Amino acid sequence: MAPYVYYQVIPAFIFAFGAVVGSFLNVCIYRIPNDMSIVFPPSSCPKCKAKIKPYDNIPIISYIFLGGKCRSCKEKISLRYPMVELLSALLALALYMKFSLTPALPFYYLFICALIVITFIDIDHYIIPDVISIPMLVIGVAASFFSRRLGLIVGVRGALLGAVTGSGFLLLVAALYYVVKKKEGMGMGDVKLLAMLGAFLGLRSVFFIIFVSSLLGALYGIPYVMISKKGAKHPIPFGPFLAAAGVIYLFFGDAIISFYLTKVIYIR
């Protein structure tokens, strides 16, 4: 019975829990930039304002059952809602596979949830709310004092150096861009986000995140500029690329860096 519980029941519960949290993250993504409470009032349809019944608010399943439409007014519901729920569930499961049932699991899941909310808010509004990044920065540094007990990947020194180096590097980039272009090219939200990432993932992660996020941004931005009618003048939020690079580092950073140091450099 024990192996069955460990290999099937617990992962299923983790997935379901992640989907439920994902539903709450959708609320945060919509309400935080609009200065609305994330607790009250209960969820409702943005168009007809009808309150969403509990049986219509089951993560992923309700969206499929309703055909992606509001039960009351038949307004189309964005596919993003089940996508965020599924993303939250899959990442919760991935964290469980990496950290098992240890204190590190809820700690890094909180980190992942913050990145999900930041990503979609930045996509929609081109902002990274201080109400998320600054408290998470404090949490990352504070938790590092108990890194051994919690089983975290970063200690106090790594968290502090990561936060300072991350914010300092982007501040320098922003200052240089302003000197050359005479306009802002990077918001302070990105600076605070990288500081938060450095606090959770350490100094070593900062350089990895900067490189990978720049690569991801280029892979998206170059085709976008070429294809889009808006051209290069249309801003592209950088927060999602920083967040994606942070998630990649959390799961694969050590393996990628080790491979590069032992294989790529050795071949050269």
User: What are 144-161's pLDDT values in tens digits?
Assistant: 999 999 999 999 999 999
> What does the pLDDT read at residue 229?
64
- Together in a domain, 257 and 183: yes
Q: Give the residue from 245, 154, 259, 149 showing the smallest Cα distance to 203.
A: 154
Assess whether pLDDT exceeds 60 at residue 231. no
Same domain? For 63 and 195 the reply is no
pLDDT for res 216: 96
Bridge partners of 51? 44
What was the pLDDT predicted at 26? Answer: 96
- pLDDT for 67 equals 92
Residue showing tokens 């379901």: 16
Omega of the bond prior to 135 within 30 degrees of 0, cis?
Answer: no
- Does the pLDDT value for residue 208 go beyond 70? yes
Does residue 76 sit in helix, strand or coil? strand
For residue 96 the two structure tokens come to: 């469980």
Look at residue 180 and tell me whether its pLDDT is greater than 60: yes
Q: How confident is the model at residue 233 (pLDDT cuts 50, 70, 90)?
A: low
Do both 142 and 94 map to the same domain? no
pLDDT at 191 over 70: yes
Q: Calculate mean pLDDT across residues 47-62.
A: 88
Same domain, 247 and 139: yes
Cβ-Cβ contacts under 8 Å for 199 (sequence gap 6 or more): 136, 137, 140, 141, 144, 154, 159, 160, 162, 163
The answer, yes or no, to whether residue 230 has pLDDT greater than 80, is: no
> What pLDDT score was predicted for residue 222?
82
For residue 235, being part of any structural domain is answered with: yes
Residue at 246 is within a domain: yes
- Residue 56 confidence class, pLDDT cut points 50, 70, 90: confident
Q: Average pLDDT in the 69-98 region?
A: 94
pLDDT tops 90 at residue 7: no
* In the predicted structure, residue 223 carries a pLDDT above the cut 90: no
Distance (Å) of CA 44 to CA 22, 68, 81, 86, 214: 17, 15, 13, 21, 38
Instruction: Find out whether 136 and 114 touch, Cβ atoms under 8 Å.
Output: yes
In a domain, 47, yes or no: yes
Answer yes or no: is 158 within a domain: yes
**Does residue 182 register a pLDDT over 80?**
no
| Shared domain check, 247 and 167 | yes
- For residue 176, pLDDT over 90 is answered with no
Whether residue 142 sits in one domain with residue 78: no
Beta-carbon neighbour count of residue 67 at 10 Å?
Answer: 10
Measure the CA–CA gap between 88 and 109, rounded to whole angstroms: 9
| Residue 184 and residue 66 share a domain | no
pLDDT recorded at residue 181? 67
List own/partner pairs for 47-52 with CB under 8 A and 24 or more apart: 47/73, 47/75, 48/72, 48/73, 48/75
Residue range 100-126: average pLDDT?
A: 96
Q: What is the pLDDT of residue 143?
A: 97
Q: Is residue 26 part of a domain?
A: yes
Q: Tell me the pTM.
A: 0.91
Q: 259: burial class by Cβ within 10 Å (0-12, 13-18, 19+)?
A: exposed
Looking at the chain, the number of H-run helices and the number of E-run strands are 13, 0
pLDDT above 90 covers a percentage of the chain that reads 65
- Residues 76 and 200 occupy one common structural domain: no
pLDDT at 46 over 80: no
- Is residue 107, in this structure, part of any structural domain at all? no
**In angstroms, rounded to a whole number, what is the distance separating the alpha carbons of residues 68 and 79?**
7
Higher-confidence residue of 234 and 52: namely: 52
The mean pLDDT value for 52-59 works out to: 88
pLDDT of residue 145: 96
- The residue assigned the tokens 């992923």 is 60
Distance, in Å, from the CA atom of 163 to the CA atom of 165, rounded to the nearest integer, reads: 6
Domain boundaries, position 9: 1-101
Rounded to the nearest integer, the mean pLDDT of the chain is 89
Residue holding tokens 């070429």? Answer: 226
Residues 166 and 243 occupy one common structural domain: yes
Q: Are residues 50 and 157 in the same domain?
A: no
How far apart CA 92 and CA 98 sit, in angstroms, is 10
106 occurs within a structural domain:
no
- Please give the tally of structural domains in the chain: 2
